[in-house]
A and B are shown apart, each in its own frame.
Chain A
Amino acid sequence: MPRPPYVKDPNAPKPQVGRIIGELFKNYKGRLTLVLVCLLISSIAGSIASVFMNRVVAIIEEALLIYKEQGAEAAMQYAHPPLMKLFIIMLTIYIVGIIASTTQQLNMAVVTQGHLAHMREKMFRHMEKLPIKYFDQHKHGDIMSHYTNDIDTLRQLISQALPQMLNAVLTLVVLLGIMIYLSVWLTLLVFVGVFAMMMVTKKIGGNSAKFFIRQQKALGKTEGYIEEMIEGQKVVKVFCHEEKSKAGFDEVNDALFGDAFSANKYANILMPIMGNIGNIMYILMSFVGGVLVILGVPNLSLSGQPLDIAVVVPFLGMTRHFCNTITQGSQQINAVAMAMAGAQRIYSLIDEEPEVDDGYVTLVNAKIGNNGELIECAEKTNVWAWKHPHQDGTTTLTRVEGKVELNEVDFGYVPEKIVLHEVSIYANPGQKVAFVGATGAGKTTITNLINRFYDIADGKIRYDGININKIKKDDLRRSLGIVLQDVNLFTGTVMDNIRYGNLNATEEECIAAARLANAHDFITRLPEGYNTMLKGNGANLSQGQRQLISIARAAVADPPVMILDEATSSIDTRTEALVQRGMDGLMFGRTVFVIAHRLSTVRNSDVIMVLEQGRIIERGNHDKLIADKGKYYQLYTGAFELE
């Protein structure tokens, strides 16, 4: 099937971290407020140690004076009560601090995981609603990475970066308050250090973040190469292409090394540099503090304390604490940068326009009343009806018969390039309509239009006389069974996979469908029969076996109209004949669209449409087309002309 060209998202990148945080707060207002309060308490508890030290040193200083005059005994007696008092106050504060930080951590665990689950589910829910076009235009690996890499960056952001940065900010504010309380002069000195650290963070941290994002990209590229080569490993072997493949790998691998090295280099050296700026600040602080004390410079502070050793010593501790806090905060820069990129990608999926459905005609079960009229009913009756509400409030029921008409339909995957031209098809209930034509002639495209995977550009498609645009998409699709050439099975047992067609089907019904599809035999020969687990899209089955299961899956759905798109292409013709007989039995009285390369598959159709470059060039049954001696005749006899 021709794919529409890959269209790059034209949206310029926008920072979406704000949106993440906004949503986070919306969903967890209570818990997050609690977390904030706890963070504040624990950062106060952590910072207050400096005040504590200030008091302790002051007491020691005074006691030491007493020691000199009155001896050890008196000094101890003087020092003990205030120290004890301080000890108890601090103990209380610390206990509160620990409780606060435990509460905060526990709540953050809930918030982080809750929000990740929320984002994951939101993404998945939205993804399921996106039009087929989205999946055709995006690489599956790219879509997948939203759920793995991008969500991981959010985990980092919410569970670590945010609380740590918040904690850092709060701690800094509290410390600053205490510092100004003790001495404005020394506080100003701290600012010098802060400025230096900011500059370093901006320079090195910025580089680090830049290379981390580059590393991520290089990793993606390497992954892509590995995947492609390993996927085609058997081809590599057949062509003795190993050395070339290795050389290509070395190229991407070396590029990845370069970026990984740079990213980690900057990240690794940031810490020691910041740490030692802290040390240098410490020295500066002691030196300047010492000079100020010795010179007896008058202090400027909220507390009104003189500038003495009792101020300088806690200031030393605070300087260290201050620097450590900034250092830790700076470590989060990578996480934030990556989360910014991740959030942007996640929202690009969430902001994607979902499939629109303006349909209002629904599919209902019905039974036939005494006068032959249709009556809607809840139970399954094998009679379906279209429920058509009208503007005047009345509804009419139309029996679902499977009449499908296409009226001069034009279509293009992109507006500029029309691939179907004036296609008209009339399929009466119970007819088998086949599409024949070279690959790319537009056979699959037609079926994509009937179930509205894509919408037509011009013309009309009617189902039982109703414009399909009026039918709710879900109901339209429910009334159409589709078996595709590329079989997709889901993780689960064989039985689960067959039941996928009709979740209410009993085991007997599923087995009956499997018999019909001629799949029963091989299924019973599987190690655990119908309970055999299928993994990785049924990797343990052959292509033909997978097709048989997918036919059984469609058979159990039992829809009024069936589309078989190369459904038996990988099944040998003998088995195919058996499957067809089964299908014909099932589909008796129902409309079937068949696409096949093998003419033997379509020969017994009521109508065969021969397509060429998006146009129907011949139509009629087998005998008529043979008699016409047109393209079909050429194709059909093409197989035999070499005799």
Chain B
Amino acid sequence: MIKKLASCVREYKRDTILTPLFVALEVVLECLIPFASRNLVNALEQGTEMSVVLKYGLLMFIMACASLACGALSGYYCARASAGFAKNLRKDLFYKVQDFSFANIDKFSTSSLVTRLTTDVTNVQNAFMMVIRIAVRCPFMLVFALTMAIIMSPSLAMIYLLIVPVLGFGLMFIAKLAMPIFRTLFKKYDALNESVQENVSGIRVVKSFVREEYEIEKFNKASQILKGDFTNVEKILAFNAPIMQFCIYVTMLFVSFFGAKMVVGSGSANLNVGDMQSMLTYSMQIMMSLMMISMIFVMVTMSIESAKRICEVLDDVSTIKNPENPVTDVKDGSIDFNGVKFAYSVEADKNVLENIDIHIRSGQTIGIIGGTGSSKTSLIQLIPRLYDVTGGELKVGGVDVRNYDLETLRSQVSVVLQKNVLFSGTIKDNLRWGDENATDEEMIRVCKLAQADEFIEKFPDKYDTHIEQGGTNVSGGQKQRLCIARALLKKPKILILDDSTSAVDTATDAKIRKAFADEIPDTTKIIIAQRISSVQDADQIIVLDGGRVNGIGTHAELLKNNNIYKEVYTSQTKESAEKEVS
């Protein structure tokens, strides 16, 4: 895991190495400064000439300046290294997700991917910053300050033998105690935020059922539990400071009391006032380091969860890959399903599609009809190889889809997805997804085909109208027509509409289909629909039921010999309505 994450450092390797280097230098200087200041104080105490004071003063000044430079440089490189590391990490994650297949995308939910790319990366970035800067600084400082203290006065340094373990264990104990609580807490916190999210997006439901008080109560309950847990864990952490203070005070008392006795007893021979002062500085440095180490310990362990979640994405392998020596030309729009079987996961005991044999000639119009859950969408998603078949084979233009270059195949097989989205940007920006270099005329042409031109022209900014994220500022039917236009711009050999006109009124729907028949007769068109009217003029209509083909034929044929089709038909026509009323 560490190796995987470390590989994201890349061009910031220099910064990553320089940071601890300068940190180390800074620490050395910081530990030497009290040493020099001891001499300064001693010189003062003995009332020697100013030249000595000046000498040590100058030395200290130079060291302080050098330490400042090292500190600033390490800070600079650290900022660069950590921000760069985070940048690369996000980039790797995002690129990885872009290369995911549909099956991979299904595995992770959108919100979990977004969290991984944001919060988790920030956590790991903070841990990284800690590791290259403070995790180097503190142990280094600890050892160095301890050494200096021992050099200065071995007997006084004995106090550390007692204090350091007390502090170390105390802090670690607290960290250990708090960490598991923290872990569960963050999950609860996420759950609370999720419930807010539900309330925000479902506010109409909440208000229509007059459930405001109920929701408030529910929220308060969760919030109070969270508050209790958080308070407890913070109370545990609150003991960090007293433990720290205890150790500092004990050291101070010890050093001052016994130090003073030593100074007096030896007549400044073994120890003097300057030594005492510096010993106190070292004590501070030692304890601060310990404190920071325990903090890092907590931070890093907490970020391990995040790191794991990031690696989960990075380690995932796209289930669909480009073949070697791919075919880069789709001959025509014919499609052949030969005994196709399909399941979303290998472990599933029931196939979503079973023994599908369908043959479609180039240029035909195909309708697909079937109830909710009859696997209509699964069927068509196999054609542009959004998923791989688990059995049998699927040929487009006479070639198995697995032999095509993915981009070639997908630009020739254009799918208008059922759950479709528009992106923030102008209408033109959105249309250009289909063809980057499309001219205005081409865009207008496809929009006319999709019956979108009319309403676009009514917008004040026409084709430059800004679309909000997710296309929230256009109606459902308008969105669907824009999506169709976008797909048409690809000039595909096969066009698939997955219930893409459900929000479009029937007259417009009919116009779209007529435009297709007139304007793009050579394109194979596959239309999934709920309305019989949308498919009844198709060359072949496929009736799907429970993942199997229940019937294939023309409208007239199916009306005669297919029960499901007949039922659907009657449910949508006048006669049945009268029957229902009576």
The verdict on A347 contacting chain B, using a C-beta distance below 8 Å, is no
Chain B residues near A382 (CB-CB < 8 A): none
Q: A124-B216, A275-B71 are in contact. Are A245 and B79 (CB under 8 A)?
A: no
Interface-side segment among B323-331, B394-402, B503-511: B503-511
Q: Closest B-chain residue to A111, C-beta based? A: B231
B400-422 contacts to A (CB < 8 Å): 406-407, 410-411, 414-415, 417, 419-421
- A586 at the A/B interface (Cβ < 8 Å)? no
A132 touches B207 (CB 8 A): yes
CA distance A571 to B99 in the complex (A): 33
Q: Which residues of A contact B156 (CB under 8 A)?
A: none
B209 shortest CB reach to chain A, Å: 6
Contacts of A634 in B (CB 8 A): 507
Max chain B Cβ within 10 angstroms of own Cβ: one of A124, A127, A270, A544: A124
Q: Which of B526-582 contact A (CB under 8 A)?
A: 530-531, 533, 536-537, 564, 567-568, 571-574, 576-578, 580-581
Confirm or deny: B97 has a beta carbon within 8 angstroms of a beta carbon on chain A.
Answer: yes
Main secondary structure of the interface of A (DSSP, over half): helix
Instruction: Mark A599-628 against chain B: 1 for CB-CB distance below 8 A, else 0.
Output: 110011000000000000000001000000
A635 and B208 form a contact (CB under 8 A): no
Q: Give every chain B residue within 8 A of A256 (Cβ-Cβ).
A: 87, 90
A297 part of interface (Cβ distance < 8 Å): no
Cβ–Cβ contact B83 & A317, under 8 A: no
Interface of chain B, main secondary structure:
helix
A234 near B267: Cβ-Cβ < 8 Å = no
B80, closest chain A residue (CB): A261
Q: Which of B163-171, B300-308, B438-446, B468-476 contacts A (4 or more CB under 8 A)?
A: B468-476
B67 & A597 in contact (Cβ 8 Å cutoff): no
In the complex, chain B residues 44-84 whose Cβ is within 8 Å of any chain A Cβ = 44-45, 47, 50, 53-54, 57, 60-61, 63-65, 67-68, 70-72, 74-76, 78-80, 82-84
Partner of A500, one of B30, B68, B209, B415: B209
Known contacts A60-B260, A113-B234; is A232 also within 8 Å of B205 by CB? no
A287 to B53, Cβ gap below 8 A?
yes
Point out the residue from B76, B95, B239, B470 that lies within 8 Å of A231, measured CB to CB. Answer: B470
Is A57 a contact partner of B44 (Cβ separation < 8 A)? Answer: no
Q: Give the shortest distance, in Å, between B70 (CB) and chain A (any CB).
A: 7
Chain B 189-231 interface mask (CB, 8 Å, partner A; 1/0)? 0011111111111111111111110111001100110110011
For residue B26, which residues in chain A have a CB less than 8 angstroms away from its CB? 272
Chain A residues, Cβ within 8 Å of B268: 64
Contact, CB under 8 Å: B502 / A597: yes
Contact of A272 among B67, B91, B475 (CB under 8 A): B67
How far apart are the CA atoms of A3 and B215 in the complex, in Å? 25
A438 and B576 contact, CB distance less than 8 A: no
User: Per-residue CB proximity of A49-87 to B under 8 Å, as 1/0?
Assistant: 100110011011001100110001001100110010001
B356-378 to A contact mask, C-beta < 8 Å, 1/0:
00000000000000111100000
Whole-angstrom distance between the alpha carbons of A110 and B469 in the complex?
Answer: 41
Residues of B near A83 (CB, < 8 A) are 257, 260-261
Stretch at the interface among B1-9, B107-115, B147-155: B107-115
Annotate B304-343 by CB proximity to A: 1 below 8 A, 0 otherwise.
0000000000000000000000000000000000000000
Size category, A interface = 35 or more
> Are B280 and A317 interface neighbours, CB within 8 A?
yes
The CA-CA distance from A403 to B578 in the complex, in Å, is 25
With known contacts A236-B98, A488-B205, A121–B68 Cβ distance under 8 A: no
B267 touches A67 (CB 8 A): yes
Q: Is the CB of B50 within 8 A of A265?
A: no
Known pairs A253-B91, A289-B44, A572-B530; A239 contacts B277 (CB<8 A) = no
Interface string of A106-133 (1 = CB under 8 A from B): 1011101110110011001101110010
**Which among A91, A237, A536 has the highest number of chain B CB atoms within 10 Å?**
A237
Chain A residues contacting B87 (CB-CB under 8 Å) are 253-254, 256-257, 260
Shortest C-beta distance, A48 to chain B (Å), equals: 11
CB of B64 within 8 A of CB of A283, answer: yes
In this complex, the member of A279, A503, A643 whose beta carbon has the largest number of chain B beta carbons within 10 angstroms is A279
Determine how close the nearest CB of chain B comes to the CB of A537; give it in whole angstroms.
Answer: 7
Chain A hits for B506, CB < 8 A: 597, 599, 635, 638-639
> Is B75 a contact partner of A269 (Cβ separation < 8 A)?
yes
**Is B345 part of the binding interface, using a Cβ–Cβ cutoff of 8 Å?**
no
For residue A474, CB closer than 8 A to chain B, the reply is yes
A490 touches B198 (CB 8 A): yes
**How many residues in B have their beta carbons less than 8 Å from beta carbons of A?**
175
Question: In whole angstroms, what is the CA distance A120 to B372 when docked?
Answer: 41
Instruction: Establish whether residues B469 and A224, one from each chain, have CB atoms under 8 Å apart when the complex forms.
Output: yes
Contact among B76, B86, B227, B238 with A260 in the assembled complex (CB-CB below 8 Å): B86
- Whether the Cβ atoms of A124 and B196 lie closer than 8 Å is yes
A97 CA / B248 CA spacing, docked (Å)? 12
Q: Does A222 contact B (CB under 8 A)?
A: yes
Q: Cα distance A289–B45 when bound, in Å?
A: 11
Looking at the assembled complex, report how far the CB atom of B448 sits from the nearest CB atom of chain A, in whole angstroms.
18
Could you say which residues of chain B place their CB within 8 Å of the CB of A536? 109, 111, 194
State which of A260, A488, A544, A640 has its C-beta within 8 Å of the C-beta of B372: A544
Q: A109-B235, A238-B384, A600-B571 are in contact. Are A56 and B102 (CB under 8 A)?
A: no
The yes or no answer to A326 lying at the interface (CB within 8 A) is no
Judge whether A305 is part of the interface by a CB distance below 8 angstroms. Answer: no
- Closest B residue to A131 by beta carbon equals B207
CB atoms of A125 and B434 under 8 A apart = no
CA distance A632 to B60 in the complex (A): 93
The residue that B196 contacts in the complex, of A3, A49, A144, A482, with Cβ under 8 A, is A144
Residues of A contacting B286 in the complex (Cβ-Cβ under 8 angstroms): none
Evaluate contact between A101 and B420: CB separation under 8 angstroms: no
Asked if B79 and A261 make an inter-chain contact with CB atoms under 8 angstroms apart, the answer reads: yes
Are the CB atoms of B204 and A234 closer together than 8 Å? no
Q: Is the CB of A76 within 8 A of B44?
A: no
Residue of A nearest to B68 (CB): A276
Decide yes or no whether A383 CB sits under 8 A from chain B: no
Choice from A219, A242, A482, A573 contacting B204 with Cβ under 8 Å: A482
Question: Within the assembled complex, what's the spacing in Å between the Cα atoms of A49 and B226?
Answer: 40
Pairwise interchain contact B110-A72, C-beta atoms closer than 8 A? no
Q: Could you say which residues of chain B place their CB within 8 Å of the CB of A270?
A: 75
Query: How long is the Cα–Cα vector from A283 to B59 in the complex, in angstroms?
Result: 10
Quick check: B118 and A223 within 8 Å, CB to CB?
yes
Of chain B, the residue at the smallest CB distance from A548 is B372
Contact for A572 among B129, B204, B253, B372, CB less than 8 A? B372
Taking the complex as formed, is A574 at the interface, i.e. its CB lies under 8 A from any CB of chain B? yes
Q: Residue B478 at the A interface, CB < 8 A?
A: yes
Complex CA distance for A153 and B386, rounded to whole angstroms: 43
Residues of B within 8 A of A52 (CB): 252, 256
Question: How many whole Å from B94's CB to the nearest CB in chain A?
Answer: 5
> Which residue in B94, B118, B568 is a CB contact (below 8 Å) of A219?
B118
Bound CA–CA A140/B101 (angstroms): 28
Docked-complex contact A2 and B266, CB < 8 angstroms: no
CB contacts (< 8 Å) of A316 on chain B: these are: 37, 41, 277
Contact status B209-A237, CB under 8 Å = no
Q: Which B residues are in CB contact (< 8 Å) with A570? A: 372, 502
Is A79's CB under 8 angstroms from B423's CB? no
**Inter-chain contact A291/B50, CB cutoff 8 Å:** yes
Given contact pairs A67-B267, A573-B572, A286 touches B40 in the complex (Cβ within 8 A): yes
Q: How far is the CA of A250 from the CA of B88 in the complex (A)?
A: 10
The 10 A-B pairs of least Cβ separation, nearest first, read A272-B71, A268-B75, A488-B202, A105-B238, A264-B79, A109-B234, A638-B507, A639-B533, A276-B68, A439-B475
29 intermolecular pairs with C-beta atoms under 8 Å apart: A52-B256, A64-B264, A72-B264, A83-B260, A106-B235, A132-B203, A135-B200, A230-B117, A239-B410, A253-B91, A264-B78, A265-B80, A267-B79, A268-B74, A272-B72, A279-B67, A280-B64, A283-B40, A283-B64, A286-B37, A294-B50, A438-B505, A482-B208, A542-B372, A574-B571, A577-B571, A597-B502, A639-B509, A642-B536
Query: Beyond the given A542-B372, A572-B371, could you list 10 further A-B residue pairs with CB under 8 A, ordered by the A residue number?
Result: A63-B264, A116-B230, A132-B207, A264-B79, A272-B74, A280-B65, A293-B47, A317-B277, A581-B580, A634-B507
